Amino acid sequence: MVITEHIPLSTKGHGDIVDITNDVAEAVEKANLENGIATVFVPGSTGALTTIEYEPGMLRDLPELFEKLIPSNRRYHHDDTWGDANGFSHLRSALFGTSFTVPFSGKRLLLGTYQQIVFLDFDNRPRQRELVVQIIGE
């Protein structure tokens, strides 16, 4: 069985870190499958997905890591193509990745106790997003 769900999000951009754990959990409950996997997907090239412990310290550490690995205050070749100055957003998306798959069992996500699924919006402006959740199971 395959069930397709969507998660609409209003983000602030600029490295916004959005906890989507409950959204994914609700999509899985709604799908009404006992066991399987949920693939969360970002249809776009300036966002990404990962898991973190969603606590105030990490919400400061993670953006500092983004800046260190891929600074936002320099010019990228991508910026010359479109003039939208978000080359850094694209590179961060390519590095962190736009697809994330989580298993579930007994309709519950098999996450750790202190582990949340987060959407990272790297774009340089607020965005309306719609993530895909593709649920496969039985």
| Residue 72 per-residue DSSP state | S
> Which span (7-15, 21-29, 87-95) binds a second copy, by CB under 8 A?
87-95
Closest approach, Cβ 121 to a second copy, in A, equals: 13
For 66-85, b/e burial (b = at least 16 CB within 10 A) is beeebebeeebebeeeeeee
Q: Which of residues 7, 23, 100, 123 is near a second copy by CB under 8 A?
A: 100
Q: Which residue has the tokens 């609700």?
A: 26
Q: Which of residues 26, 82, 108, 126 is near a second copy by CB under 8 A?
A: 82
Give the torsion through C-alpha atoms of 39, 40, 45, 48, to 10 deg.
-110
The footprint of a second copy (CB under 8 A) covers 1-2, 4, 35-37, 39, 41-45, 50-53, 55-58, 60-62, 64-65, 69-70, 76-82, 87, 90-91, 93-103, 105, 110-112, 114-115, 132, 134, 136-138
